[in-house]
Amino acid sequence: QVQLVESGGGLVQPGASLKLSCAASGLTFSDYALGWFRQAPGNDREFVATIARGGIRQDYADFAKGRFTITRENAKNSVYLQINDLKPEDTAVYYCAATQTYKFGAILAGMYDVWGQGTQVTVSS
């Protein structure tokens, strides 16, 4: 059974940092490119970042450049999203996703085969 499980979300104050984690099981992790998306209430799911199978290439949404960092650790079947200087507009459910079809550059939700259940990030003072 292929599964992605996110963790690390929570309620934080503006300016804080969070590191989201996503643990994969039931798949050959190194065969998949990985991505993070987010969805705020009333909004469509939006792309945040993606990392290639080998981890060499990362792509970010414009809003994510400079504050968000995606990394992966194939030995632990895990992908991470570091978010610095959190802002209220970062409040959303964050989802990780995996694609075997695309080696890199998977910036659209439709490119992904497997999704996690999401982890809530709330930024509020």
Dihedral in degrees, nearest 10, Cα atoms 74, 65, 96, 79:
20
Residues 80-114 pLDDT 10s: 999 999 999 999 999 999 999 999 999 999 999 99
Confidence at residue 53, expressed as pLDDT on a 0 to 100 scale:
94
**What is the mean pLDDT of the segment spanning 9-24?**
98
Confidence at residue 125, expressed as pLDDT on a 0 to 100 scale:
95
Confidence at residue 117, expressed as pLDDT on a 0 to 100 scale:
97
Residues 26-61 pLDDT 10s: 999 999 999 999 999 999 999 999 999 988 999 999
How do 119-123 and 10-12 pair as beta strands?
parallel
Question: 3-state SS of the chain?
Answer: CCEEEEECCEEECCCCCEEEEEEEECCCHHHCEEEEEEECCCCCCEEEEEECCCCCCEEECHHHCCCEEEEEEHHHCEEEEEECCCCHHHCEEEEEEEECCCCCCCCCHHHCCEECCCEEEEECC
